Amino acid sequence: MTLVLPFDNSYAQLPPRFYTRQNAVPVREPRLIAWNAPLAAELGIEGGSDRETLARIFAGNEAPEGATPLAQVYAGHQFGGFSPQLGDGRALLLGEVVDSHGRRRDIQLKGSGPTPYSRMGDGRAWLGPVLREYVVSEAMHALGIPTTRALAAVETGERIYRDPGAMPGAVLTRVASSHIRVGTFQYFAARRDAEGLRALYDYTVARHCPQVESPAHLLAEVIRRQARLVAQWLSIGFIHGVMNTDNTSISGETIDYGPCAFMDTYHPQTVYSSIDAHGRYAYDNQAHVIVWNIAQFATALVPLMPDQDAAIEEFTALVHAMPERIEAEWRRVFAAKIGIAEAGEEDAALAGDLLARMAEGRADFTNTFRALIEGGARDQFLDPAAFDAWEARWRARLAREADPEAVMRAANPAFIPRNHRVEQMIEAAVGGDFAPFERLMGVLSHPYDDQPGAADLRRPPAASEVVHATFCGT
Ligand code: AMP
Ligand code: MG
């Protein structure tokens, strides 16, 4: 049976300097390891029942009818240093489909072979990062956080060489609202390519926010989306790990799951990424870094404006107002975590005080908040009396709330993809056992439900299981 993807490709119509057209490099022995049938249905993909066809297509061995594979070019600040040219070094946009809700979605292969933008890389990915992105991005979606999705994962039957040694190669198929990044704007701005910048701006507005009427308006819209996104990350203890400007999406989705991780024990300066030596992208810094990234976006938009001095003034005011917006979003999500539907100033202080005690008491982030519903939160603290003092004030505040339990149930997941479980799942998969992957996917697809049979997946790691560092997908 042939697979039908209803492609309707618009990025490929942009000027040729936006990308390089090329096909994926075929792999030796593609084998399908995961297929997201509900997502495929949403995308209008038909005929996805033959695993061999799926394996061939989503390994890149066969281009599906209507695809116009291309590697997108972009630039970006990586750990604060500017690279004027990056681009898809191991990814190819197959094309776009318009989904059942009328939304245009990119379908992209990741790990599909070298491109002109590969620099020193081999263009490939190994099974570990592919499964990590599959599990974590789908978990983020189930948690209610804007994110790219995972449609398929295929093993290549080839070995690739990484730090751990010769590892099984894999290709991930990623679905995104688009792959336009802050770095895409930076690419054209850095080259003083005014026409390219204008074409990108027009394309972005038409695709993501047709109501937008000016670059300032687009900036304000991206600020709104990113402020909300980062507050949502903070609310579930998520650490992205590589918040470079090329990994900051204009659509407001979480993109690029490299060394990302969820915190177990709460501490605001938690870092997992092995390449983030100075903690630039630590948990708490994410709210500052996003403002820095948005300032780079604003800078890239300036050449679009006829009066640049006026533009700089206007954009600066917008960027300077962003921290306040993040704070408002933070207050909203953290108030909900402690059962408060409409947050006031003093509620932010109440939530902040709990976090300070959690850091001091080495409390587990996810389990402490969930235990506010279920009871037993005090047992999460080294010194339970620290919680008791807070609890008395909290209970007094909750007396003014209509249904705090319902608010907390929607804000405090029972399940997150804990690092040690993700690592154990990868280790099993490398050994050929995909049962832990399937189980994680099943449980994480409804993370706010009690699932008594999966209590083991709620436990923090034992001392021997703690993951101290996560590695980039490269
Ligand atoms: P990342 O940190 O994953 O966002 O990647 C930064 C840049 O490096 C992107 O342009 C990637 O396409 C490129 N890259 C990462 N891994 C590889 C690889 N194995 N081969 C070629 N390019 C890569
Ligand atoms: Mg990236």
**357-388 pLDDT per residue, tens:** 999 999 999 999 999 999 999 999 999 999 99
pLDDT digits (tens, 9 = 90+) for 388-447: 999 999 999 999 999 999 999 999 999 999 999 999 999 999 999 999 999 999 999 999
Residue 124 CB less than 6 A away from ligand 1: yes
Alpha-carbon 212 to chain mean position: 25
Average pLDDT of span 180-185? 98
Give the pLDDT score at 131.
98
Average pLDDT of span 319-339? 98
Q: How confident is the model at residue 469 (pLDDT cuts 50, 70, 90)?
A: confident
| Catalytic-role residue among 106, 246, 256, 264 | 246
How many angstroms is it from 246 CA to the middle of ligand 2? 6
Query: Is 456 one of the annotated active-site residues of the chain?
Result: no
* Sign of the alpha-carbon dihedral angle for 159, 165, 170, 173: negative
Looking at the predicted structure, is the pLDDT value of residue 127 above 90?
yes
Average pLDDT of span 91-112? 98
Looking at the predicted structure, is the pLDDT value of residue 2 above 90?
no
Average pLDDT of span 285-302? 98
Ligand approaching nearest to the C-alpha of 125: 1
* Sign of the alpha-carbon dihedral angle for 389, 391, 392, 396: positive
Average pLDDT of span 109-124? 97
Looking at the predicted structure, is the pLDDT value of residue 452 above 80?
yes
In 3D space, the residue among 260, 279, 309 whose CA is nearest the CA of residue 139 turns out to be: 260
Cite the beta strand spans of 23-90 per DSSP E.
Answer: 31-35, 70-72, 76-78, 81-83
- For 76, phi then psi, to 5°, come to 165, 155
Give the pLDDT score at 1.
67
Write out the DSSP string of 332-358. HHHHHHTT-SS--HHHHHHHHHHHHHH
pLDDT digits (tens, 9 = 90+) for 233-254: 999 999 999 999 999 999 999 9
pLDDT digits (tens, 9 = 90+) for 139-171: 999 999 999 999 999 999 999 999 879 999 999
Q: How confident is the model at residue 474 (pLDDT cuts 50, 70, 90)?
A: low
- For 273, phi then psi, to 5°, come to -60, 130
Which residue among 122, 132, 254, 474 is best mutated to probe the pocket of ligand 1, counting the most ligand atoms within 8 A of its Cβ?
A: 474
Question: For the chain, what's the residue count?
Answer: 474
Residue 32 CA to residue 202 CA, distance in Å, equals 38
pLDDT above 90 coverage of the chain, percent: 97
Structural contact between residues 233 and 334, judged by C-beta atoms closer than 8 angstroms: no
* Sign of the alpha-carbon dihedral angle for 263, 264, 268, 272: negative
Q: 273: which strand partners?
A: 470
Ligand approaching nearest to the C-alpha of 260: 1
Average pLDDT of span 210-217? 98
Residue 87 CB less than 6 A away from ligand 1: yes
Give the pLDDT score at 48.
80
Looking at the predicted structure, is the pLDDT value of residue 473 above 80?
no
Which residue among 19, 25, 92, 118 is best mutated to probe the pocket of ligand 1, counting the most ligand atoms within 8 A of its Cβ?
A: 118
- For 298, phi then psi, to 5°, come to -60, -45
Structural contact between residues 125 and 423, judged by C-beta atoms closer than 8 angstroms: no
**Sole residue written with tokens 């149930």:** 409
Give the pLDDT score at 163.
82
Looking at the predicted structure, is the pLDDT value of residue 38 above 80?
yes
